[in-house]
Structure 1
Amino acid sequence: MIGLDGVSAQALSDVIGAIYDCALNPQLWATTCRRIADLCESTAGGICVHDMRHVQNDQLFVFGYEQTFLEKLGENYARTPMAAADIVAEVGHVSALSMNDLDELLESRFYRDILQPHGLQDIIWFPALRTGGRMASMHASRTEKVQRYQQIDIDLFKLLSPHVCRALTISDALDLRTLRSEMLERTFDMLAVGVFLTARDGRVVYMNETAERQIKTGNAVSVVGNRIFPTDVAARAALSAAIDQASREDVDMSGHSLAIPDVDGAGYIATLLPVDRGQRSGILAPFAASVAVFMKDPAEVPMMPGEAFARLYKLTGGELRVLMSLAQGLGAKEAADMLGIGEPTVRSHLQRIFAKTNTTRQADLLRLLQSSSPPLLPAQQAVS
């Protein structure tokens, strides 16, 4: 592994190993978040979980922040640049406040009322998990006593982000607090992700109900000779080699992912995790398993509100924030007040949105947005 300037290869390797340990013991995130922040000389950090359904923002394993800051951030999270950027960004995409228009940031209410009073000047983060109505992101921040994040810090987070994303995906899928109970198999069967547990020789020793359904379709993967058998020849060879490598104690394949295409051009993403080492061996001992293979259909991940529209028309996070504010019936001045930015900035964003969507009036723009929203089911309409 090649180290970045100022960060040794060994330090990176140690932190990545610690990240995958968190997949099976989430309480280790507290220490690991500190180690990640230390690598990029940050004074605070942690993991944020935002629940879109219940409009809640929970800070997990955080350190270095004043409680009043966390409370303010939680109350205003939906209107922050981070929330807007995460709706548009892919999982794992690294952002920093300093990467955007600095003048716009400094004039914003978010900076004046939330960051500046607590001595903070920059935040670096990436969305790490998106399931249903929840989104989790990892973040770190710097005070005004040090310079804003530079490209080397962005590169470091880009290197770590795929490992954090895989570890959180595995941890979220397994829900280890339940796995440690006697309802292990029932928990597996409730998962929306396919779980295949294999022995050291590649034999399948367990499949959950989702995995069995994936096998029955036969389009992307089946079981032949009691082994996972992808339809695609290249994927078949790659998966077999990856399982073999993951079974070896001298090879670290934690979180290794493979594409498993089907005959129609779609398919699954397979993530591998060795499970016969350390704490993992105790958790899955009843299955005598060596490797866990998680099969997930990426098309099943639901989109966040406004996400599809923003991606279709290539809106920025700032433009999407303005659009969603106007969609609530606010005028330009009210939207500016709510977002904590200047009214000219709102109008500038709106003109760029008009250009991107080929509209000229706000009514036409909102009609276009409304027509792109999925219809509610009758039962949902009745509840609302």
Structure 2
Amino acid sequence: MADADDVLDLVGDIYDAALDPLRWPEVVGRAGQFVGGQVASIFSKSPIAGGGDVLCQSGIDPHYCQLYFDKYVKLDPATTGQYFAEIGQPIAVSDLMPQDELRQTRFYREWAAPQGMVDFISAVIDKSATTAALFGVFRYESDGLADNAARMRMQQIAPHIRRAVMIGRLIDLKSAQASAFAEALERMTCGIGLVDRLGRLVHANAAGQQLLDAGDPLFVRDGRLAARDGRTDHMLQDLIVRSGGGDAALGTGGTAMLMTSQNGLHHVAHVLPLTSRDRQAVGRAYAASAAIFMRRTMIEPPQSPELIATAYRLTPTELRVLLGIVEIGGVPEVACLLGVAETTIKTHLRRVFLKTGAVRQADLVRLVAGFMSPLAS
């Protein structure tokens, strides 16, 4: 059993990888060992197109890796179940089908068995209407089938991997060095604001300053970064304070904030601590304790979101839950956004499913996408 210091060390390295992608293979391997497997990967695949790609892997035989996406991804009996899992939910192949049934499949006989694999446990870290990105860990004969300990560890580590991957996608850095960050900061297309422990804005890149100059949904008040919406601002200030306490202080709950401006445009913000490990160099260079990454969301209804509410008779809270699930993806993050318990979000989500006729979260993504303007870029 890994001790607390080992877990903190792993979490710190995960966030360092957000700024230094060369760290990912080693970090993914350690995360796989933490969950309880010898081989791990971050990858994407589509149950609709029957394809996919490896984003990062550790320990996988390159031949079998290529073979999977060239041929066997379409034969993998777990693909559909993995896609429909909630973001962050640990799910093993052994949860989806009995072991004796799995062993009879062509996928197992020709791809998994020759490698000695008996199970695979994963968690979705991002999802679109057609594709899911997952962090997964392979289990061999010596590891046995995924057990409750593996599920608990996956649930513990997956939110940090998700957070780091999403931030890494936004900034696309080649190094975590302060000089490299400073050089890349101004050319980043996403808005970035650097704040100190009190929430005071110490620097913003051009994209971030443009967003702040607009004053909605984020603005600067008495030198401090703030959100127009009171509930969102409370969450923002809480995340900034917790970021000052290091990586572990953020916990495994949601750190993505969905913000809606007065003109109806949606933005998502992510918080990355700059007080731990290699990121401290960036923090010291700017006297900052956290970086706030801001971007507009991809899905924008053509008119007011109330059109969706009217069409499906959704209450205001149900509408916010629907938009939160579509834009952010995870029940824990939407719960943090609305300041309620996860069980409350799940209750509202069940009502949304009932009213819209949707069965899975992917159906909700397609539903909202149907309200997009055909002229949207």
TM-score, normalising length: structure 2: 0.66
Partner of 2:125: 128
Partner of 1:46: 41
How far residue 280 of structure 1 moved from its aligned partner, in angstroms, is 2.5
2:54 pairs with one of 55, 58, 61: 58
3-state SS of the aligned residue for 2:146? coil
CA separation of 1:113 and 1:377: change in aligned 2, threshold 3 A? farther
User: Is 1:72 matched with 2:71?
Assistant: no
1:163 pairs with one of 160, 163, 174: 160
CA contact (8 A) 1:230 1:260 kept: no
How far residue 186 of structure 1 moved from its aligned partner, in angstroms, is 3.9
| Alignment gaps of 5+ in structure 1 | 1-5, 304-308, 321-368
In the alignment, the residues of structure 2 paired with residue 106 and residue 45 of structure 1 have an alpha-carbon distance, to the nearest angstrom, of 21
Aligned-pair identity in percent equals: 21
CA separation of 1:377 and 1:268: change in aligned 2, threshold 3 A? closer
Partner of 2:255: 257
RMSD, matched Cα? 4.4
Give the aligned length. 314
Partner of 2:270: 271
How far residue 99 of structure 1 moved from its aligned partner, in angstroms, is 0.4
Partner of 2:293: 294
In the alignment, the residues of structure 2 paired with residue 198 and residue 261 of structure 1 have an alpha-carbon distance, to the nearest angstrom, of 18
Aligned residue identity for 2:29: R
In the alignment, the residues of structure 2 paired with residue 250 and residue 45 of structure 1 have an alpha-carbon distance, to the nearest angstrom, of 22
CA contact (8 A) 1:96 1:125 kept: yes
How far residue 234 of structure 1 moved from its aligned partner, in angstroms, is 4.0
In the alignment, the residues of structure 2 paired with residue 89 and residue 251 of structure 1 have an alpha-carbon distance, to the nearest angstrom, of 26
CA separation of 1:167 and 1:249: change in aligned 2, threshold 3 A? closer
Partner of 1:357: none
Listed as ranges, the matches of 1:72-221 within 5 Å are 72-75=67-70, 76-102=72-98, 103-130=100-127, 135-177=132-174, 180=180, 183-188=183-188, 190-191=189-190, 194-208=191-205, 210-212=207-209, 214-215=211-212, 220-221=217-218
In the alignment, the residues of structure 2 paired with residue 81 and residue 54 of structure 1 have an alpha-carbon distance, to the nearest angstrom, of 12
Higher Cα Rg, which structure: 1
In the alignment, the residues of structure 1 paired with residue 108 and residue 371 of structure 2 have an alpha-carbon distance, to the nearest angstrom, of 34
Partner of 1:22: 17
In the alignment, the residues of structure 2 paired with residue 39 and residue 115 of structure 1 have an alpha-carbon distance, to the nearest angstrom, of 22
TM-score, normalising length: structure 1: 0.65
Aligned residue identity for 1:279: D
How far residue 83 of structure 1 moved from its aligned partner, in angstroms, is 3.6
CA contact (8 A) 2:45 2:52 kept: yes
Partner of 1:243: 240
In the alignment, the residues of structure 2 paired with residue 377 and residue 78 of structure 1 have an alpha-carbon distance, to the nearest angstrom, of 32
CA contact (8 A) 1:49 1:136 kept: yes
How far residue 131 of structure 1 moved from its aligned partner, in angstroms, is 7.2
Aligned residue identity for 1:275: L
In the alignment, the residues of structure 1 paired with residue 74 and residue 371 of structure 2 have an alpha-carbon distance, to the nearest angstrom, of 21
How far residue 49 of structure 1 moved from its aligned partner, in angstroms, is 4.3
CA separation of 1:55 and 1:37: change in aligned 2, threshold 3 A? closer
CA contact (8 A) 1:254 1:272 kept: no
Listed as ranges, the matches of 1:274-353 within 5 Å are 274-275=273-274, 277-283=276-282, 287-296=286-295, 300=299, 313-314=358-359
In the alignment, the residues of structure 2 paired with residue 111 and residue 373 of structure 1 have an alpha-carbon distance, to the nearest angstrom, of 38
CA contact (8 A) 1:85 1:316 kept: no
3-state SS of the aligned residue for 1:187? coil
CA separation of 1:197 and 1:78: change in aligned 2, threshold 3 A? farther
Aligned residue identity for 1:314: V
In the alignment, the residues of structure 2 paired with residue 79 and residue 99 of structure 1 have an alpha-carbon distance, to the nearest angstrom, of 18
In the alignment, the residues of structure 1 paired with residue 245 and residue 87 of structure 2 have an alpha-carbon distance, to the nearest angstrom, of 30
